Amino acid sequence: MKILISACLLGVNCRYDGRSSPGNLPEIKEKDVCFIPVCPEQLGGLPTPRSPSSIIGGNGFDVLDGKARVASQNNLDVTDKFLKGAFETLKLIKKLGIDTCYLKDRSPSCGIRLISEATGEIVGPGVTAALLIRENHQVIEIKAKAAP
């Protein structure tokens, strides 16, 4: 069984700040499990570390539909990088026959229930999560462990 997973959840230092976000991974009973670590933002060509980014004007579905954009904290438009990373992730999933994806919470790429900084409301998924959901893959949001 192959499971795609946000690389930062496995301890890979690929987050925007150059750190990882080890996750509270569910216990997996199957014996033959292979985790495929992926960072969509790196696959899209963004460096690590990088300025944090947010979806402006909607959620990941809106970015996919051209109705919203992704901008870094210093207001650089990185929409094309987020879209490229999402589609590269999808390509990998299809090539490897992966159905289940564990993605990190609160990420403009991987989060499923992003929260608006302005209103505190749930606005929807990040860009990669939205694409995978739209393509009918099972996407499970994993909460990062609390920092020590």
What is the Cα–Cα distance from 96 to 54, expressed in whole angstroms?
Answer: 30
pTM for the structure as a whole: 0.93
Surface-to-core class of residue 95, CB atoms within 10 Å of its CB (0-12 exposed, 13-18 middle, 19+ buried): exposed
pLDDT tens by residue, 77-116: 999 999 999 999 999 999 999 989 999 999 999 999 987 6
Return the H-helix or E-strand segment holding 81. Answer: helix 79-96
pLDDT tens by residue, 42-82: 999 999 999 999 999 999 999 999 999 999 999 999 999 99
pLDDT above 70 coverage of the chain, percent: 95
Q: For residues 27-41, give the mean pLDDT.
A: 86
Look at residue 148 in the predicted model and tell me its pLDDT: 52
Look at residue 23 in the predicted model and tell me its pLDDT: 85
Model confidence at 33, pLDDT cuts 50, 70, 90, reads: confident
Strand extents, DSSP E, 1-148 = 2-6, 34-38, 53-56, 69-72, 100-104, 114-115, 122-124, 138-142
Per-residue pLDDT at 15 exceeds 90: yes
Look at residue 146 in the predicted model and tell me its pLDDT: 66
Domain extents in the chain: 2-142
CA of residue 38 relative to chain centroid, distance: 9
What mean pLDDT value characterizes the chain?
92
Nearest CA among 88, 111, 103, 83 for reference residue 3: 103
